[in-house]
Amino acid sequence: MRLVFAGTPEPALPALRALIDSPRHEVVAVVTRPDAPAGRGRRLLRSPVGMLADEHGIEVLTPPKASDPDFLARLTDIAPDCAPVVAYGALLPKVARDIPTHGWVNLHFSLLPAWRGAAPVQASIRAGDEITGASTFRIVRELDAGPVFGVVTERVDRRDTAGDLLGRLAESGAALLAATLDGIEDGTVTAAEQPAADVSYAAKLTVEDARLDFTLPATAVDRTARALTPEPGPWAMFRGERLKLGPVLPVVIDEPLPPGRILVERKRVLVGTATDPVVLGEVQAQGKRRMAATDWARGVRMEQDEELG
């Protein structure tokens, strides 16, 4: 099939590579978000999907909106058989959805109807799911509510960060998406409507969402920190400034430690929660490099009864 691939960030790359390498399909164009400023110089940079397409000489379309008339006209001229989508980052109007012969097929990183929305992997870790997965479905008007072609499952390791889990799902999901497109071309797959029950949503996370709350139990603090790693990155306030954190590890000690209270030991730095304390991994103070929490604690000359909040 002639494909127009829509996607933007790095997790979309395994799927795009799989389709470029497929002997059965031809990626004739990609649609991705417009170039955006990045880095200290705020230089305009192509998205990861756009850069991979450039490497392979594939036409790159960067409409400001999917309803842009010039984009719709070009998509009509291309006349794709199908349009696979992985984390494109914008909603598709009906006029765009109607152009490909076989519609738009989305790869979503959850077992739908669980965790519809922008941050399904983060939501799964935060909720303590033991099993998650990826789904391919036909895009409809409602958010992530279209009929499902297929799924793959993935176990959530107790120490997985969102980055770890998303990396595995991006690879297994790429194979699922390629198989789904093969099946659509052959007429051997059918899409099943999602059940109306057990629908849940995972809204896009902000930096404010990433502030750890040490008044919660250690299990919740641990899950939240892992769900927010690497982006947007967990943090807490220390001496009036934001301190970036990494994953933390719940431990058991003999004496209770009040929520947020910092206890510096010879080889570890602990912070109290509503239950057991957690051990800090790496931290990064403003204007400083990332370092082990023990090195940071020695550098700031920690006083008694100091807290993170």
CA distance 158 to 80: 42
The response to whether 113 counts as a known ligand-binding position is: yes
Q: Of 268, 273, 221, whose CA–CA distance to 248 is shortest?
A: 221
- Nearest alpha carbon to residue 233 among 243, 245, 241: 245
What are the backbone dihedrals phi and psi of residue 152, each rounded to the nearest 5 degrees, phi first?
-125, 150
Question: Among 204, 22, 38, which residue's Cα sits nearest to residue 116?
Answer: 204
Residues with Cβ within 8 Å of 207's Cβ and at least 6 positions away in sequence, in order, are 232, 235
Tally the residues of the chain: 309
110 in a known ligand binding site: yes
Coil vs helix vs strand at 143: coil
Contact 223, 132 (CB under 8 A): no
Q: Can you tell me the distance from the alpha carbon of 3 to that of 27, in angstroms, rounded to the nearest whole number?
A: 5
User: How many CA atoms are closer than 13 Å to the CA of 119, on its beta-carbon side?
Assistant: 20
Residues 6+ apart with CB under 8 A from 121: 109, 110, 132, 162, 165, 166, 169, 227
At residue 31, what are phi and psi to the nearest 5 degrees?
Answer: -115, 130
CA diameter of the chain: 70
The answer to whether residues 272 and 236 touch, using CB atoms and an 8 Å cutoff, is no
Give me the numbers of helices (H) and strands (E) for the chain, helices first please. 8, 19
Annotated binding-site ranges for (6S)-5,6,7,8-tetrahydrofolate: 110-113
Annotated binding-site ranges: 110-113
